[in-house]
Amino acid sequence: MDKPFRRRDLLGIRDLSPAEITGILDTAETFREISNREVKKVPALRGKTVINLFFESSTRTRTSFEIAAKRLSADALNISVSASSLSKGETLLDTAMNLDAMAPDCIVVRHSSAGVPHQLAKVSKAAIVNAGDGANEHPTQALLDAMTIREHKGKVEGLEIAIVGDILHSRVARSNIHLMTKLGAKVRVAGPGTLVPLDFQHLVENGLTVSPNVEEAIRNADVVMILRIQRERQDSAYFPTLREYSIHYGLTNERLDLAKKDGIVLHPGPMNRGIEIASDVADSSRSLILDQVKYGVAVRMAVLYLSTGGSPTNN
Ligand code: CP
C-alpha cells in the first residue's frame, strides 16, 4: 500500500505515487474553506518562515504561495531578485545557502533553468518547493488542476483529458501528464509538430496518446487544457505566425463543441486571448480558469503545511 506524502521537498510530480498525490489533494480539501471565512487565518504554521525566491515573473503562483503562507500564519517574504546580491555576482547556490542560514522553514523557488530546485534541495535545510523550473515541472499547477477537475467531475480516474498547444516548452504539460496518468486519466496531447516533443513515447504505456491534430485530441474530451504559447522560451520559429497558430490550434467554440457536452476548459494562465484561446471560450461557463486560481491557494496551503512537517489528510 502506497504511503501518503511525507516528504520535505516537493520537486516534481514525476517521483510521486498516486497515494502521495491524493494525500496532498485531500489535505487541500480541508484547507479550502479557510478562504471563505471572514477571518481567513488559522495557526497551523505559526512561527514558521516561508521565503518566495522567484527568478522569473509570476502573478498567480507567487501571490498564492504568499497568501497560502499568511492564511496559515507563517511569516512570508518575497525576495526581489533584481535588488538582491545576485545582481552583484553572487551565485545562486551561495544565495540559497545564505538564505538557509537564516533558518527559514521553506523556500519556494521558480527559475528559468530545469533542475534548480533539485540543486537547492541538496544544500538547504529548509524544505524546497518547486514553483516552476524551466520547461521541466510545475508541480503545484498540476495539483491545482487536479483539484479543479475533482471538484467539477468528482474524480480524475477514467477521464479523457486533452492537453493542447506548446507542449515542448511547457512545465505545466509535463507535470500534468505525470499527474493525470498516475491518477488513471487517458491523456492526449496535440499541437504543432514542432512543439510536441518526441521523448513522450515512454509515457504511452502509462495512458498518454499523441494525437495527429487538435480536433482528434479534443473529440469526446472531458477536460480540454489549453497551454500558453511560451514565446519567452522559443529561440526559433516553431510556426509561421501567431495568426496561423490561432487558426490551426486555437480553442474556439467550434473546436470545443467536439468535446463532451459537459467538457470543461482549463488554462494555467497567463492567457494570450485570441491566440491559443478565443475570448468567448475563456469567458464562457465551461471555462474554469478562475477556479484554478482559487484552488491554487488551497493546494499551496497543503504543500506548505506538509513540507514543513504537517500530517496528510486521507479521505
Ligand atoms: N500558472 C502560472 O504559473 O502563472 P504565473 O506565471 O502567473 O505564476
Q: Does residue 235 have a pLDDT over 60?
A: no
Q: State the pTM of this model.
A: 0.95
Query: What's the domain count of the chain?
Result: 2
Which atom of ligand 1 is found nearest the CA of 268?
A: 1
Q: Assign residue 309 a region: left if phi > 0, alpha if psi is -120 to 50, beta otherwise? A: left
| CA of residue 123 to ligand 1 center, whole Å | 26
Q: Which three cell numbers stand for residue 76?
A: 512570508
Q: Phi and psi (nearest 5°) for 222?
A: -85, -30
Cis peptide before 18 (omega within 30 of 0): no
158 and 187 housed in the same domain: yes
Asked if residue 49 is part of any domain, the answer here is yes
66, 210: one domain: no
Total count of residues recorded for the chain:
315
If asked whether residues 203 and 217 sit together in one domain, one would say: yes
Joined grid coordinates for residue 150: 475533482
Give residue ranges with CB within 6 A of ligand 1: 58-61, 132, 141, 268-270
Whether residue 101 is contained in a domain is answered as yes
More confident residue, 2 or 48: 48
CATH number at residue 54: 3.40.50.1370
Give the CA-trace dihedral at 248, 250, 252, 257, to 10 degrees.
70
Which amino acid belongs to residue 36? N
Atom 4 of ligand 1, residue of closest alpha carbon: 60
Determine the Cα–Cα distance for residues 264 and 222; give it in Å rounded to an integer: 6
- Nearest partner of 219 among 196, 194, 188, 180, judged by Cα: 188
In this structure, the residue with its CA closest to atom 1 of ligand 1 is 268
Does residue 75 share a domain with residue 177?
Answer: no
2 assigned to some structural domain: no
Mutate to test the pocket of ligand 1, among 56, 61, 133 (most ligand atoms within 8 A of CB): 61
- pLDDT of 261: 98
Residue 201 domain boundaries = 139-292
Q: Give domain status of residue 5, yes or no.
A: no
Q: Is the pLDDT of residue 1 over 50?
A: no
For the chain, what is the mean pLDDT?
93
d(CA 108, CA 91): 17
Nearest-atom number in ligand 1 for the CA of 132 is 3
Distance 1 CA to ligand 1 centre (A): 34
Read off the pLDDT band of 271 (50, 70, 90). Answer: very high
Instruction: Judge whether 43 lies within some domain.
Output: yes
pLDDT one-digit tens code per residue, 144-173: 999 999 999 999 999 999 999 999 889 999
| Domain identity same for 105 and 178 | no
In a domain, residue 312? The reply is no
Q: 55-64, 81-90, 136-145, 291-300 — which is least confidently predicted? A: 81-90
CA of 9 to the centre of ligand 1 (A): 20
Report percent pLDDT > 90 for the chain: 80
Closest Cα to atom 5 of ligand 1: 58
Same domain, 58 and 164: no
Q: Which residues contact 105 (CB under 8 A, 6 or more apart)?
A: 45, 48, 49, 50, 74, 126, 127, 308
Q: Are 86 and 97 in contact (CB under 8 A)?
A: no
Query: Quick one: 143 and 288 in the same domain?
Result: yes
291 exposure class (CB count in 10 Å sphere: 0-12, 13-18, 19+)? middle
Ligand 1 atom with the shortest distance to the CA of 62: 8
